[in-house]
């Protein structure tokens, strides 16, 4: 399928969309490379926060820390992945609005929804890139040994952070409508901590909260070495269902907010 424009014909089918994904990823890599101080400070902040948590915990409660180091590593990994996936989408919308290019995305032959989906996939890839670096750093610092089977960790990791992507869509939609919501971004980071550390094993109803079930299964897989195919089918079903549910609700809220902004005539305002 192709779209004719004043400058030529644009392939708006699968081949063209794959090209868009490639260029979107390339753009992100260029931005990371051109602003090395910002890139390194972002990664350094993630490392520094973990060092404070780990060594602070050892100083205050060494015995308890010895028993919970694995949980801290897995929980912090999921938290950093969730923050990266969630904030990347919300900040994308905010920056496009600041740059005055948000309305241009609506004129894309792929449609605004597919454009944002492509940006989301790029954000997820970047999140796992930083997550890999963070995990290697944490294992080096703590000397902890975890099961790192990619056939288990990657699917669980993706499903675990999809609810965070849904939250990112919600805040992306709010950014389209209300523009300046950066302060609200910070509050969600603390909310994620509570969700990731929720005692799902003791209170099963908590598994229906975003991130909670993913955190629980990821800890079982990485700490106890349980492969994906040996995890209970009903537990995996809850994980898949909550991932799809919160992602779908987030995208629905995002779609509603963009239509709301267009009705109010504030799409291009900042």
Domain boundaries, the chain: 20-264
Long-range contacts of 45-52 (CB under 8 A, 24+ apart): 46/80, 46/130, 46/134, 47/134, 47/137, 50/76, 50/134, 50/137, 50/138, 50/141, 51/141
Residues of the chain with pLDDT under 70: 1-12, 64-65, 97-98, 100, 182, 266-270
Distance of alpha carbon 147 from alpha carbon 70, whole angstroms: 11
In terms of phi and psi (left: phi > 0; alpha: psi -120 to 50; beta: otherwise), the region of 8 is left
Q: State in Å, rounded, how far the first CA of the chain is from the last one.
A: 35
- Over the stretch 72-107, which tens digit does the pLDDT of each residue have? 899 999 998 888 888 777 777 777 766 767 777 777
Encoded tokens for 39: 């890139």
Per-residue pLDDT at 60: 79
Region class of 190: left (phi > 0), else alpha (psi between -120 and 50), else beta: alpha
Nearest of 122, 96, 130, 99 to residue 26 by alpha carbon: 122
The model's pLDDT over 123-161, given as tens digits with 9 standing for 90+, comes to 888 888 888 999 999 999 888 888 888 899 999 999 999
């Amino acid at each position: 399928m192709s779209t004719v424009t004043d400058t030529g014909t644009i392939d708006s089918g699968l081949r063209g969309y794959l090209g868009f994904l490639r260029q979107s990823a390339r753009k992100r890599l260029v931005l990371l490379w051109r602003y090395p101080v910002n890139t390194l400070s972002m990664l350094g902040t993630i490392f520094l926060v973990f060092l404070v948590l780990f060594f602070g915990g050892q100083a205050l409660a060494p015995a308890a820390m010895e028993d919970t180091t694995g949980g801290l590593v897995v929980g912090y990994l999921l938290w950093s992945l969730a923050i990266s996936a969630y904030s990347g989408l919300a900040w994308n919308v905010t920056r496009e609005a600041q740059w005055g290019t948000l309305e241009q995305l609506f004129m894309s032959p792929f449609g605004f929804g597919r454009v944002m989906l492509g940006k989301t996939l790029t954000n997820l890839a970047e999140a796992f890139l930083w997550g890999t670096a963070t995990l290697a750093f944490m294992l080096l610092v703590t000397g902890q040994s975890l099961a790192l089977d990619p056939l288990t960790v990657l699917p669980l990791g993706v499903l675990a952070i999809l609810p965070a992507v849904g939250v990112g869509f919600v805040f992306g939609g709010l950014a389209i409508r209300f523009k300046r919501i950066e302060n609200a971004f910070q509050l969600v980071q603390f909310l994620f901590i509570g969700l990731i550390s929720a005692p799902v094993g003791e209170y099963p109803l908590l598994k229906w909260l975003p991130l909670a079930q993913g955190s629980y299964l990821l800890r079982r897989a990485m700490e106890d070495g349980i492969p994906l195919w040996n995890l209970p089918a009903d537990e995996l079903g809850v994980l898949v269902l909550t991932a799809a549910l919160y992602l779908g609700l987030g995208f629905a809220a995002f779609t509603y907010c963009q239509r709301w902004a267009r009705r109010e005539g504030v799409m291009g305002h900042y």
